[in-house]
Amino acid sequence: MSKAYKHSYKMYSPWNYQKQIEDLNAASEQGWQLVKVGCFHSKFLKNPDIRYRYQMDFGKIEDMGRYIETFREQGWEYICSTFNGWHFFRKLYDPSLPEGAYEIFSDRESRHEMNNRWARLALIIGILIAGFAMFFGIWMLRKPRLAILTILLTFLVECLFLLRGWLIMRNPNSSRKWRGDGAFLAIFFAVILLGSAVSLTLVNLRPNFSTSQRSDSITEPIVDNRWVDFEVRYTDNYYLDLKLDAPEPMTFEIISENGESVYKVTDTSFHEEDIRLRLPKGRYWFSMTCDTGFELSCEMD
Domain extent for 33:
5-104
> What's the rounded mean pLDDT across residues 284-292?
93
44 and 98 belong to one structural domain: yes
Q: Note whether 288 and 222 are within 8 A (CB).
A: yes
Choose among 222, 197, 201: nearest CA to 291.
222
C-alpha span between 298 and 265 (Å, rounded): 13
Q: What pLDDT sits at residue 58?
A: 82
Confidence of residue 95 (pLDDT cuts 50, 70, 90): confident
239 and 186 belong to one structural domain: no
Q: What pLDDT sits at residue 142?
A: 93
Task: Please provide the DSSP assignment of the chain as one string.
Answer: -PPPEEEE-----GGGHHHHHHHHHHHHHTTEEEEEE-SS-EEEEE-TT--EEEEEEES--S-HHHHHHHHHHTTPEEEEE-TTSEEEEEEE--TTS-GGGG-SSSSHHHHHHHHHHHHHHHHHHHHHHHHHHHHHHHHHHHS--HHHHHHHHHHHHHHHHHHHHHHHHT-TTS----TTHHHHHHHHHHHHHHHHHHHHHHHHHS--EEEEEEES--SS-EEEEEEEEEEE-S-EEEEEEEEEEEEEEEEEEEEETTS-EEEEEEEEEEEEEEEEEEE-SEEEEEEEEESS-EEEEEEE-
C-alpha span between 60 and 185 (Å, rounded): 24
Mean of per-residue pLDDT scores for the chain: 87
Tally of domains within the chain:
3
Q: What pLDDT sits at residue 116?
A: 76
Distances (CA, A) of 127 to 149, 160, 162, 168: 19, 11, 10, 17
Q: What is the pLDDT of residues 150-194, one digit of tens each?
A: 999 999 988 888 887 777 777 655 545 555 566 777 788 888 899
Q: What is the pLDDT of residues 14-23, one digit of tens each?
A: 777 888 899 9
Q: What pLDDT sits at residue 190?
A: 86
164 and 236 belong to one structural domain: no
275 and 197 belong to one structural domain: no
153 and 231 belong to one structural domain: no
Last residue of a domain, one of 77, 104, 131: 104
For the question of whether the overall pTM of this predicted structure is more than 0.75, the answer is no
Neighbours of 220 (CB within 10 A): 6
Q: What pLDDT sits at residue 1?
A: 47
177 and 87 belong to one structural domain: no
73 and 15 belong to one structural domain: yes
> What's the rounded mean pLDDT across residues 117-123?
79
Last residue of a domain, one of 160, 186, 205: 205
98 and 20 belong to one structural domain: yes
CATH number for the domain spanning 276: value is 2.60.120.380
> What's the rounded mean pLDDT across residues 266-282?
96
131 and 154 belong to one structural domain: yes
Q: Note whether 223 and 290 are within 8 A (CB).
A: no
Q: What is the pLDDT of residues 200-249, one digit of tens each?
A: 999 999 999 999 999 888 888 899 888 889 999 999 999 999 999 999 99
Last residue of a domain, one of 205, 236, 270: 205
Residue percentage of the chain with pLDDT more than 70? 92
Neighbours of 164 (CB within 10 A): 16
> What's the rounded mean pLDDT across residues 10-36?
88
216 and 201 belong to one structural domain: no
* Bridge partners for 148 per DSSP: none
Q: What pLDDT sits at residue 55?
A: 92
Q: What is the separation, in whole angstroms, between the first and last Cα of the chain?
A: 65
225 and 198 belong to one structural domain: no
Neighbours of 194 (CB within 10 A): 13
Q: What pLDDT sits at residue 13?
A: 78
C-alpha span between 241 and 265 (Å, rounded): 13
C-alpha span between 284 and 229 (Å, rounded): 6
256 and 281 belong to one structural domain: yes
